[in-house]
Chains A and B, each alone.
Chain A
């Protein structure tokens, strides 16, 4: 279990996170919010790339700062717009990250094979990453997160650049993994979250303005809710109201 306790992060005078309290268990958590809402900062703090200004992140009741490398062994983080090493092949890139994530040597080949198959890149295993299209790079990023079989996946805008078919495949992969892993997903594509997230978190100006299942989030609309309401409608409506307010 991952817990964010009164998490705050400031960049100078700018507040990126203003006291976030959340608990992540197994399942898919969809993080929604406009640009600059604090999604990436939150992901960076959870991934232990950034230090919080105040508050803490706990893994199974232990602060992640205390757990250090042991915590990092359990996570895989995919940030936005990753370019990778252009001269590496896909296979080499995965082997590199498998090594960094502490995958046992005898398991590396098997994990690489599994990851490439999962994102449909087996045929491009020996190709240089520099020759990959944006979509292929995105899929490679997902393969990198899978290569170490982590307990927690932190994915920042992972479906950007994927075509609809790939996005559906990607969702299916995540759904398949969700039974035994915690997946924290940030995206602008609301339909991704709508279709697969067990829990949806709405964030704005560093604050959590709503969280719960799709039904619970829809319920936040109160009287405006109808049978045809989609999450996108709810989110836009909710965001506009808040903005006006």
Chain B
């Protein structure tokens, strides 16, 4: 196997690609870290009194606007001076559309968090206890569960602004920071593809294949060795990328503190908790699963396409572009649904799974078929996550076996 590994390690193009991936990941991690520390600073005492006062002022303004413009508030009678302070006339406040109200709510929530008032939430702790206690009973369809949760949260905000429990906005922000598409993932996918080409297609290009194939161990054993080297490379790549992405957690205490805050807010809907290590392992495993599915798929294509290196690479690149397009389109559809006011996390619920597994359509299908669970890991219902993991493993095995059969049979039939 060391010689198969040696083929990879000695390839200069792959080496340059790895360096590029590491640099890009490092840069993304740095940028992400900068944002995290900024966010932490906005929570902590590091901001000047002036900034804090400004944030508090903004918070008061948007809390007021929210009160005046929320649906049931439209029928309430408020003193004229309140409308004046909010910068609206009564007629304007009543005539706001649902979308505009949502926008006001988002700003209100944003300043609620930035002003630091979100940091003391005994009510949130109590709420979470209830979630844990009633986890099974709370299992509803996604729409029902989400609607009820939202109603409850809206009521809380309206009645008592001292309490906040994280809604979708903060969760989205959280995901954006920790899970958002890493562009180094695209480079890594191309690196996995390159590794597959080096292992399988180079031999066809230089005619060594017949020598390998006619040797004592040139069939199944060689295939397994090549696949193991590719899987090892993929594992290492996903691990290095994940660790680099999250190195700020280890090197900057403020980033770690911010994550803790987000964890607390995020897990308020879930009976589960997660520590840093579990969090990183979770992300790594999801990324690894996605990479492995892709690498085995590429392997199957490589043994199928034989010498056609260029169309193969072009096809995969087009596939990546298509996937990106699909992802963006889906995101738009998800946002449209959110504007309608229901199923706000149609897109986001399975974002994690879809991001690191290549078959978005299937994942999305599973999303619609699966009940929304309060039992979730970072917004991904455990049932969905389990199905996704099982389906991914099935894909890996399917591509592995199909690739092996093609490797052992197809070349022999078609000629060399």
Contact = CB atoms under 8 A, between A and B. Distances in A.
A243 B166 CA distance: 87
| Category for how many chain A residues contact B | 20 to 34
Interface stretch (A43-51, A113-121, A185-193): A43-51
26 contacts: A44-B210, A48-B214, A49-B210, A49-B213, A49-B412, A51-B413, A69-B216, A72-B215, A72-B216, A73-B216, A77-B211, A78-B211, A79-B207, A79-B416, A82-B206, A83-B208, A85-B206, A88-B7, A88-B10, A92-B3, A92-B6, A99-B217, A100-B222, A101-B216, A102-B216, A144-B211
B10 A99 contact: no
Contact of A100 (B205, B206, B215): B215
Contacts of A79: 207, 210-211, 416
Contacts of A87: 6-7, 10-11
Contact of A97 (B10, B210, B211, B413): B211
A80 interface: yes
Contacts of B6: 87-88, 92
Interface string A143-155: 0100010000010
A82 B216 contact: no
Nearest to A96: B3
A69 B206 CA distance: 24
Nearest to A11: B415
A44 B416 contact: yes
A75 interface: yes
Interface in B1-55: 3, 6-7, 10-11
Contacts of B321: none
Interface in A61-100: 69, 72-73, 75, 77-85, 87-88, 92, 95-97, 99-100
Interface string B214-227: 11111100100000
A20 B11 CA distance: 43
B146 to A, nearest CB: 55
A79 B212 CA distance: 11
B317 interface: no
A25 to B, nearest CB: 21
Nearest to B219: A69
Given A95-B3, A99-B217, A101-B215, A85 B208 contact: yes
B202 interface: yes
Given A51-B412, A88-B10, A82 B207 contact: yes
A57 to B, nearest CB: 12
A77 B212 CA distance: 9
Contacts of B412: 49-51
A77 B217 contact: no
A47 B216 contact: no
Given A49-B416, A82-B211, A100 B217 contact: yes
B154 to A, nearest CB: 64
| Category for how many chain B residues contact A | 20 to 34
Interface in B203-259: 205-208, 210-219, 222
A148 B212 CA distance: 13
Interface string B395-414: 00000000000000001110
Given A49-B210, A100-B218, 15 more contacts: A49-B412, A51-B413, A72-B214, A75-B214, A79-B207, A79-B416, A82-B206, A82-B207, A83-B207, A83-B208, A96-B3, A97-B211, A100-B215, A101-B215, A102-B215
A140 to B, nearest CB: 11
A77 B207 contact: no
Contacts of B216: 69, 72-73, 100-102, 148
A224 to B, nearest CB: 37
Contacts of A75: 214
A41 B412 CA distance: 11
A75 B211 CA distance: 10
Nearest to A82: B207
Question: Residue among B202, B205, B210, B413 with the most chain A CB within 10 A?
Answer: B210
A82 B208 contact: yes
A47 B219 CA distance: 13
B217 A69 contact: yes
A9 to B, nearest CB: 8
Contacts of B214: 47-49, 72, 75, 77, 154
Contacts of A81: 207
B320 to A, nearest CB: 28
B407 to A, nearest CB: 13
Contacts of A92: 3, 6
List the 8 closest pairs (A to B, CB-CB), nearest first: A83-B206, A87-B10, A102-B216, A100-B215, A47-B214, A73-B216, A77-B214, A96-B3
Nearest to B202: A85
A177 B208 CA distance: 24
B14 to A, nearest CB: 11
Nearest to B412: A51
Contacts of A154: 214
A23 to B, nearest CB: 21
A203 B11 CA distance: 42
Interface string A104-125: 0000000000000000000000
Contact of B218 (A72, A82, A85): A72
Nearest to A74: B216
A95 B208 CA distance: 15
A196 B208 CA distance: 27
Contact of B411 (A49, A88, A96, A97): A49
Contact of B416 (A50, A84, A99, A100): A50
Contacts of B215: 72, 97, 100-102
